[in-house]
Amino acid sequence: MKAPRSGGGWKAIKYSLTLANKVGWWKLWKSMRTRNACKTCAVGMGGQKGGMVNEAGLFPEVCKKSFQAMAADMQPAVANDFFAKNNIDQLRSMSSRKLEYSGRLTQPLLLSPGEKHYKPISWDEAFDLVVERLKAAGPERTFYYASGRSSNEAGFLFQLMSRLMGTNFVNNCSFYCHQASGVGLGSSIGTGAGTLRLEDLDHTDLYILIGANPSSNHPRLMKAFMEIRRRGGKVIVVNPVKELGLVNFKVPSDVRSLLFGSSIASTYVQPHVGGDMALLIGLSKEVLERNAHDQAFIDAHTENYDAFKQQVTETSWDDIIAQSGVDRETIRNIADQYLSAKNVVIGWCMGITHHLHGTNSVQSIVNFSLLRGMVGRRKAGLMPIRGHSNVQGLGSVGVVPGMKQAMLERFEKQLGIKVPTTPGYDTMACMEASHRGEIDFAFCLGGNLFGSNPDTKYALEAMSRIKTVLYLSTTLNTGHVWGTGEETLILPVLPRDEEPEPTTQESMFSYVRMSDGGKSRFTGPRSEVSILAAIGQKLFAGDDRIDWKKLESHSAIQELIADLIPGYENMKETLQTHREFHVTGRAVEEYNFPTESGKAKFHALPLPDLSVAENELRLITIRSEGQFNSVVYDEEDIYRGQERRDVILMNRADIDRLGLKPDQRVKVKSEAGEMPYILVREFDIRAGSALMYYPEANVLVPHTVDPLSKTPGFKSTRVTLEVEDVVTT
């Protein structure tokens, strides 16, 4: 399969038209134009300004992934006899794509202990079973996990339920993606969110993109990069992999770009995997050696600078160059661009956070930005490129193991409840407790917890030891068939554009949108709020601390959010006028950092150990252009020219060095597991590194985590390759 010359463009348009043919042009158009927030990435789109409209009010703002998610929700219901015909073993033989396209879930399903088939049950039976199992499990043997698909309202009820039950074992999917960003930013500048608003990108003259591939995962960001280049700005891409869309991209909504393509990277740097931190320390060292830092800003608005400077000064150039894989001349060139720019934005994604030193890498990004005061003011700053559409909102409304003090005080004062103070469980801690046999009930609000986990064998063992696993889902995924407990229950829910009342979502720019909802396409599924409120009424019957009947109303929840969630006070105006708003205190202005001292903090950070044996490669697990998170919509990866997913993409030098040939079958092995009969493919990737597709390659990723953020190292697994003996006849 041959890769195109540019990302985006006519192929993306053709694909969208194919989806429209499949589900109906007029139906898809009407669905996309409703006033509902986009269901995919956290760049944000839709809401009260209209479907396919961004935060600045620009139209058309849409991408292929938006159409994919909408089309998946518009497919027919699962056939009535589907589960009778397919037992659990047959379901396990299906790919992620086949499960996704089996249809919308419309009735509660139960896989009883010892049974091989999911069987439909009534809503009343489902609620009674959930409440009985929750009460039996108790607070110390239950955990709550939410994906970024859910609304703020559902997330608020979800964490409120866990706290009333007496546990902080509640978390969201960020622990497997951007938690290192939140921890790193919080420890440096006092807020775990990005410091920008969308309009700040209109003034950017240098964007440094590190460890991210938005051309595949956040396509609508490509227009911002195009515009930076058009007005004479620069985009520096730092990525071990040469990604097609980051070199040239055809923005479908821009005629000139669509016809002729847009050059994205003005400088493309391919470091060693995990070498970003060394590169950032090297860039900081270059700035300091030139005496080009902003000492006045540093003296007035930062702390711990001397320790940072000493650490950087004592780190040798030889170590920096060896570990980063970037030569001194290139480091000088990047520093030249940084020092000549007026407004610098640094953006990153999981190429930074998916390492066992991920938090330190984020702190290194902040250190570099602080040297010239490029964070703490408008038009410049830090931009973690968030994944799912409302993962940031879930964190804001408390779906986290540890509540912030300001929020905790409001909860206890207004609601009169004592929030548990015992340590909470992050996502991996929940899995480890399950593996030890200490969890009886897992409550999963959307997502695919099993498919998101590293070390597939370990995850399978952990979830199989849970007595009851509950999923709230719209369609089937691999978690429903592999991530099963002794008994497993699936409750069908409505996507946000079918909600009976408005819901809210928060973008990566801390902009809170309101989604109107709409008419349900099927009889049977219920809103997440409806389900949680019904469970709450039964679970806390006789407990008058919270009126769960009242909380069936979305507006009642929104009033509580406005009162209890710091930064969400403007939700009250939204209730009256449907006016959307930015969360206060996120876009840091005039260097007023929300830390205890009011100052940003430098961190002195030694280089991590990234040594590998001569016969080892460092494996990066990636998503394809044809998938969103763990959902695989298409088997082929157009941008990388791959027609299949059972491949390992390698530098030609490594193929030759290891005595291999393109399209040869190998067994890929790590300390966690192995994958047989994988095809070797040549690709433009830094030598010493390799690429394989997530979530399939999770079997190779150990379940060890960054000690600060508890995020697994999906981008830094040491692997070896062994030639397979293929018998031909």
Q: What is the pLDDT of residues 280-308, one digit of tens each?
A: 999 999 999 999 999 999 999 999 999 99
Peptide bond into 60 cis (omega under 30): yes
Question: What is the distance, to the nearest Å, from the Cα of residue 446 to the centroid of all Cα atoms in its chain?
Answer: 14
Percent of the chain with pLDDT over 90: 83
CA distances from 370 to 25, 292, 297, 403, 486 (A): 49, 12, 8, 28, 51
CA 457 to chain centroid, in Å, comes to 23
pLDDT per residue as tens digits for the range 25-37? 888 888 989 999 9
Beta strands in 116-269 (DSSP E): 119-120, 142-146, 170-172, 206-210, 234-238, 248-250, 262-263, 267-269
Radius of gyration of the CA atoms of the chain, in A: 25
Angle among Cα 381, 385, 390 to the nearest 5 degrees reads 115
What are the tokens at 677?
Answer: 């009969």
Looking at residue 294, the DSSP 8-state letter turns out to be -
Handedness of CA 238, 242, 245, 248 (dihedral sign): positive
Contact assessment for residue 19 and residue 74, using Cβ atoms and an 8 Å cutoff:
no
> What gap in Å lies between CA 568 and CA 559, rounded to an integer?
10
- How confident is the model over 600-654, as pLDDT tens digits? 999 999 999 998 999 999 999 999 988 888 888 888 999 999 999 999 999 999 9
Mean pLDDT of 554-562: 96
pLDDT at 15: 84
Q: Distance (Å, rounded) from C-alpha 307 to C-alpha 315?
A: 12
The reported pLDDT for the residue numbered 670 is 97
Task: Give 244's pLDDT tier (boundaries 50, 70, 90).
Answer: very high
Per-residue pLDDT of 368-394, as tens digits, reads: 999 999 999 999 999 999 988 899 999
Place of tokens 């929104």: 558
Give the pLDDT confidence score for residue 14 in this predicted structure: 84
**For residues 469 and 484, is the Cβ–Cβ distance under 8 A?**
yes
Q: For residue 3, is pLDDT > 80? A: yes
b/e for 400-411, b at 16 or more Cβ within 10 A?
bbebeeebbebb
Using the predicted structure, report yes or no on whether residue 729 has a pLDDT greater than 80. Answer: no
Residues in contact with 422: Cβ distance below 8 Å, sequence separation at least 6, in sequence order: 167, 168
How far from chain centre, in Å, is Cα 659?
A: 37
Q: What is the mean pLDDT of the chain?
A: 94
Say yes or no to pLDDT of 728 above 80: no
Q: Pick from 300, 279, 202: which is nearest to 237 by CA? A: 279
Give the contacts of 660 (CB within 8 A, at least 6 positions apart): 650, 666, 680, 721, 723
Q: Kindly report, residue by residue over 317-365, the tens digit of the pLDDT.
A: 999 999 999 999 999 999 999 999 999 999 999 999 999 999 999 999 9
E-strand ranges in 571-714 read 581-582, 600-601, 617-622, 627-628, 631-632, 647-650, 665-669, 674-682, 689-693
pLDDT tens by residue, 250-287 = 999 889 999 999 999 999 999 999 999 999 999 999 99
- Structure-token match 């597939």, residue found: 456
CA distance 409 to 494: 33
DSSP lists the bridge partners of residue 492 as 473
Nearest Cα to Cα of residue 225 among 212, 235, 215:
235
Return the pLDDT at 13: 86
Contact 685, 651 (CB under 8 A): yes
Which residue type sits at 622?
Answer: I
Structure tokens at 543: 């407990």
What pLDDT is attached to residue 727? 57
Distances from the Cα of 575 to the Cα of 54, 504, 555, 581, 586, angstroms: 21, 11, 7, 12, 22
Provide the percentage of residues in the chain whose pLDDT is more than 70.
99
Give yes or no for a contact between 495 and 562, defined as CB atoms under 8 angstroms apart: no
Find the length of the chain.
729
Whole-number Å distance between alpha carbons of 339 and 368: 11
Question: How high is the pLDDT of residue 138?
Answer: 96
**Does the structure show a pLDDT above 80 at 540?**
yes
pLDDT, position 409: 86
For 217-237, what is the mean pLDDT?
95
pLDDT of residue 726: 66
What whole-number distance in Å separates Cα of residue 674 and Cα of residue 697?
A: 9
pLDDT band of 549, cuts 50, 70, 90: very high
pLDDT band at 89 (very low <50, low <70, confident <90, very high): very high
User: At a CB cut-off of 8 Å and minimum separation 6, what does 20 contact?
Assistant: 28, 29, 67
3-state secondary structure string across 402-465: CCCHHHHHHHHHHHCCCCCCCCCCCHHHHHHHHHCCCCCEEEEECCCHHHHCCCHHHHHHHHHC
SS3 of residue 271 by DSSP:
coil
Q: Cis ω on the peptide bond leading into residue 702 (within 30° of 0)?
A: no
Say if CB 39 and CB 66 are below 8 A apart.
Answer: yes
User: Tens digit of pLDDT for each residue in 465-523?
Assistant: 999 999 999 999 999 999 999 999 999 999 999 999 999 999 999 999 999 999 999 99
pLDDT-based confidence at residue 421 (cuts at 50, 70, 90): confident
Per-residue tokens: 637: 């990866």
Angle separating helix axes 328-340 and 276-289, nearest 10 degrees: 70
